[in-house]
Amino acid sequence: MENITVAVIRSSAPEYKEVWQLREDVLRKPLGMSLVNEDLSMDAEDDIYIAISDGKVIGCLMLHSISNTVMKFRQMAVSADWQGKGVGRKLMTKAEEDIKAKGYTTIMLHARQIVADFYLALDYDITSSAFTEVGIPHVIMKKILQ
Ligand SMILES: CC(C)(COP(=O)(O)OP(=O)(O)OC[C@H]1O[C@@H](n2cnc3c(N)ncnc32)[C@H](O)[C@@H]1OP(=O)(O)O)[C@@H](O)C(=O)NCCC(=O)NCCS
């Protein structure tokens, strides 16, 4: 993990192309879907956290501000080769620290139900019943920043 760095970019940065491809490969292709068919205009409003190893983007997490105190985390993805090695935790923890310093108190996200345990391990609570998004079950999860 020592050689993994975290950076924050906007969608105008050159690394955004790699972020797009990572989301496509990890979050859309396995569902038989493509980002090409989606409205990605919201991306331009987000801070994008990226994990970099050896000059390549291996993880991403997008932060969308809902209000002065509530932040939505979305598009959490780690490349297949790097899953289960702490990259997701590292991105989530860094983003949480940064937004807490900016005065945010609450994080909400739509978690795929099959990975809810990942967010539970990071102290998020399930706050909704299951609903369908991108064709699969999701739950809303929240964390109050202490
Ligand atoms: C889910 C995902 C983001 C987690 O990132 P990761 O780098 O693989 O996870 P980490 O190695 O940082 O794991 C952090 C903790 O969560 C747990 N965890 C990770 N993935 C998990 C999973 N799929 N199910 C249950 N627990 C999981 C780990 O055991 C670990 O717990 P520990 O630190 O107490 O041992 C990543 O595996 C991924 O991109 N998966 C496919 C895409 C996806 O489902 N994205 C989320 C959409 S809501």
DSSP assignment of 38-104 equals: S--GGGGGSEEEEEEETTEEEEEEEEEE-SSSEEEEEEEEE-GGGTTSSHHHHHHHHHHHHHHHTT-
For residue 58, the model assigns a pLDDT of 98
Q: Where are the domains of the chain?
A: 5-144
Contact 107, 142 (CB under 8 A): yes
Mean pLDDT over 20-42 rounds to 98
For residue 146, the model assigns a pLDDT of 87
Predicted confidence (pLDDT) at residue 2 exceeds the cutoff of 90:
no
Contacts of 18 (CB under 8 A, 6+ apart): 50, 56, 57
pLDDT in tens, 76-97: 999 999 999 999 999 999 999 9
pLDDT in tens, 85-135: 999 999 999 999 999 999 999 999 999 999 999 999 999 999 999 999 999
Q: How far is the CA of 94 from the centre of ligand 1 (A)?
A: 16
In this structure, whether the domain defined by 5-144 belongs to CATH 3.40.630.30 is answered with yes
* Nearest CA, atom 44, ligand 1: 115
Q: What is the pTM of this model?
A: 0.97
- How high is the mean pLDDT of the chain? 97
Q: Is the CB of 86 under 6 A from ligand 1?
A: yes
Q: How far is the CA of 118 from the centre of ligand 1 (A)?
A: 5
